[in-house]
């Protein structure tokens, strides 16, 4: 039972098993959750992301062992958490900010810039989740810097 629950959470209830680009599907799930339930409450969104992170570390560790591979592509709860982090710091609840946050998050999740790239080599669920939280933080940083730069020009 615990094994099934771990895999279900790690794949975010099967979303990670959708064909083509499972990380993008997981990111879209994180975007949808953030948008519909928490967008007007950034502290609640961060709390939800922290709780999901906390339960996902052991679940991903177990799922990785059950699946027999390091950071399986079907494990997408990390993208959900990372996208929630990206959404928690939006400057305003507008669709274009959410779209930019999504694009930036996917870019940084794929690229894995320093120092987050090294963190993916942490053992088990830690390595799976921490680099995506970093990608979310990078997305926040670039979105905020871009917004400030554009407001200075306009």
pTM equals 0.94
What is the C-alpha to C-alpha distance for residues 59 and 2, in angstroms, rounded to an integer? Answer: 9
Q: In this predicted model, what pLDDT tens digit does every residue of 110-141 receive, in sequence order?
A: 998 888 888 888 999 999 999 999 999 999 99
Q: What is the tens place of the pLDDT at every residue in 135-145?
A: 999 999 999 89
Lowest mean pLDDT among 72-81, 84-93, 125-134: 84-93
Kindly state the tokens that stand for 21: 């680009």
CA distances (Å), origin 127, targets 6, 16, 58, 70, 109: 16, 17, 11, 9, 13
What backbone phi and psi angles, to 5 degrees, belong to 93?
-80, 55
Read off the pLDDT of residues 30-74 as tens digits, 9 standing for 90 and up.
999 998 887 778 889 999 999 999 999 999 999 999 999 998 999
Question: How confident is the model at residue 93, as a pLDDT?
Answer: 62
- Boundaries of every domain in the chain: 2-153
């Amino acid at each position: 039972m615990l094994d099934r629950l771990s895999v279900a959470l790690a794949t975010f209830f099967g979303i990670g098993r959708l064909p083509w680009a499972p990380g993008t599907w997981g990111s879209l799930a994180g975007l949808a959750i953030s948008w519909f339930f928490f967008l007007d409450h950034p502290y609640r969104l961060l709390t939800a992301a922290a709780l999901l992170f906390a339960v996902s570390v052991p679940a991903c560790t177990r799922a990785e062992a059950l699946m027999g591979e390091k950071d399986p592509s079907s494990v997408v709860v990390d993208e959900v958490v990372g996208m929630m982090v990206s959404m928690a710091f939006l400057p305003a609840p507008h669709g274009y900010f959410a779209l930019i946050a999504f694009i930036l998050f996917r870019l940084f999740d794929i690229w894995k810039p320093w120092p987050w790239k090294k963190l993916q080599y942490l053992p088990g669920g830690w390595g799976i989740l921490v680099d995506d939280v970093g990608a979310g933080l990078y997305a926040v940083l670039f979105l905020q810097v871009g917004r400030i730069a554009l407001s200075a020009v306009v």
